[in-house]
Structure 1
Amino acid sequence: MDSTASRVALVVVVTVSVAAAVAVNALGSLGHGWAALRASGRALVQLLVVALVIAAVLDSRPLMLAFVALMVSVASLTAARRLTQDRSGAWAALPVVAGALPALALVLVTGLVPFEGVAVVPIGGILIGGAMTATVLAGRRSLDALASRRGEYEAALSVGLTSRDAALLVARDDAALALVPGLDQTRTVGLVTLPGAFVGMLLGGASPIDAAAVQLVVLVELLMVQSVAVVVVVELVARGWLGRSVPRVGR
């Protein structure tokens, strides 16, 4: 297929897919039709911008580090907006940073990933994105659990537990469900899905063994990243530092 035909096919596939997503949302009364359209539009603009600047980022270590910092900032802001509307949302940066940056530092310090933009940016993006997703899911589940199971929380307070311990007792199990997608992806890799790092390396000319090794590292790092993010965000919610809009009683 020549380049012109490829571009036409790309436009057709993207247009049909976005239209289908919006239509299904509308027909199913899911309430996210416009959100799907806006998200698709943002993805288009952001990917075009990234395509224009990525060469400079990959060739410059200062710009590479700045781009990683931008990814962390955007992930933190996105998580904060999903969890709360007040200033406590600033705490959402902590689980993102605590989860993603040590994992990225580990593969850099050991030399497994070279300190170059072509490696740091994609690997960092995967880890930061995983931390963001875990933060949002665990945070939402924690806050929802404290709101819907208020009686259990107050009962725990009545038998002498502190506010933190009572909140952990109610919210921790629900928050831990945020780890299920990552666990399932790791369990079924190669049998159900071939994740992006594996496919990308194959398309780039790497051997299947090398691609599998890199994908294994990414998957186990994501498990670590998401576990840390979940533990941190649950602790923040339990202490009342994140999502203060949820009423708290007791000590």
Structure 2
Amino acid sequence: MAQGALTVGPVYAVVLIVLVLLAALATAAGRLEAGRAVVTASVRAVLQLGIVSLLIAAVLRSWWATAGFIGLMLLVAAATSARRVSTLRRGRLVVLPIVAGALPVGVIVVAAGPVPRTTIAVLPIAGILIGGAMTATSLAGRRALDELHNRHGEYEAALALGFLPRDAALEVVRPTAARALVPALDQTRTVGLVTLPGAFVGVLLGGGSAVQAGATQLLVLLALLAVEAIAVAVTVELVAAGALRRPFSEFL
């Protein structure tokens, strides 16, 4: 076992259960109405990571299997973001900002050489980038649609002044949607001072040096910043163009 590697056993299982209970109790004490979501998300994480842990060795033996797994990641990310933004059917175009953010950045970091061109390196990088794009798309989409609904009078006023529908919508939604980048910006600004994110810790636990860990984390953070900026920009355009919308019943 590598130095610093986690020990998986009964104590590990107990710690996980305690953490879930602590999160559930905190939501209950704060009356946040998210206790059930905390538990179900935790159970899903256990099941999904358990299955992935069993399958990953087989997946990584083949580039075709790795590509298929990345495709599955993309579909799940798009479905999750679609439900957050609108509905699965009406929000299906969220796949565009996710792909627009993750694909070019992923190609750059792999093709340029910093990330080894091996399945064991490409798969986790793809997962990180797709996950970042999903989160940014969900946040930007929800905020943009909320703002367009809450400030619909301003939108109509802009139309009355001669603005095109897209331009009128952008005037309303762009400032708020841009706040979807705040988590990525804060993490990038404070890395090493407040947090040591996952890539840094992962390299250290895997036996890498602190310099290697820092270089890896820097690449991941800046790649995520680029991914999320692209995803937010594309999401805002889709909302402004009316391509992303909510069911009419939600506005009643």
Among 32, 39, 51, the alignment partner of 1:37 is 39
The answer to whether the 8 A contact 1:134-1:230 is kept is yes
The answer to whether the 8 A contact 1:146-1:153 is kept is yes
Q: Which amino acid aligns with 1:188?
A: T
Partner of 1:160 in structure 2? 162
Partner of 1:128 in structure 2? 130
| 1:183-194 alignment runs, 5 A limit | 183-194=185-196
Partner of 1:113 in structure 2? 115
Q: Which amino acid aligns with 2:45?
A: A
The answer to whether the 8 A contact 1:86-1:243 is kept is no
Q: Which amino acid aligns with 1:136?
A: S
Partner of 1:148 in structure 2? 150
The answer to whether the 8 A contact 1:86-1:244 is kept is no
Partner of 1:61 in structure 2? 63
| 86 and 79 in structure 1: CA distance in 2 versus 1, 3 angstrom threshold | closer
SS of the residue corresponding to residue 237 of structure 2 reads helix
The answer to whether the 8 A contact 1:143-1:246 is kept is no
Alignment RMSD (CA, Å): 1.6
| 1:1-251 alignment runs, 5 A limit | 6-85=8-87, 87-245=89-247
Unaligned segments of structure 2, at least 5 residues: none
The TM-score, its normalising length taken from structure 1, stands at 0.93
Q: Deviations over 1:175-213 (max 9, x none)?
A: 000001101101111000001111111111112112111
Cα drift, residue 246 of structure 1: 6.0
SS of the residue corresponding to residue 106 of structure 2 reads helix
The answer to whether the 8 A contact 2:98-2:133 is kept is yes
SS of the residue corresponding to residue 87 of structure 1 reads coil
Matched residues in 2 for 1:202 and 1:128: separation? Answer: 23
Unaligned segments of structure 1, at least 5 residues: none
The answer to whether the 8 A contact 1:165-1:238 is kept is yes
Matched residues in 1 for 2:225 and 2:62: separation? Answer: 30
Matched residues in 2 for 1:216 and 1:142: separation? Answer: 30
Q: How many residues align?
A: 244
Q: Which amino acid aligns with 1:149?
A: R
Cα drift, residue 19 of structure 1: 1.3
Matched residues in 1 for 2:23 and 2:215: separation? Answer: 35
Q: Deviations over 1:193-249 (max 9, x none)?
A: 0011111111111121121111111111111000000000010011111114369xx
Q: Deviations over 1:13-59 (max 9, x none)?
A: 11111112222222221111111111011001000000100101122
Matched residues in 2 for 1:246 and 1:166: separation? Answer: 20
The TM-score, its normalising length taken from structure 2, stands at 0.93
Q: Percent identity?
A: 55
Q: Deviations over 1:79-113 (max 9, x none)?
A: 00111126221101001110011111111111221
Matched residues in 1 for 2:161 and 2:247: separation? Answer: 25
Matched residues in 2 for 1:165 and 1:115: separation? Answer: 43
The answer to whether the 8 A contact 2:132-2:227 is kept is yes
Matched residues in 2 for 1:161 and 1:101: separation? Answer: 34
Matched residues in 2 for 1:43 and 1:96: separation? Answer: 22
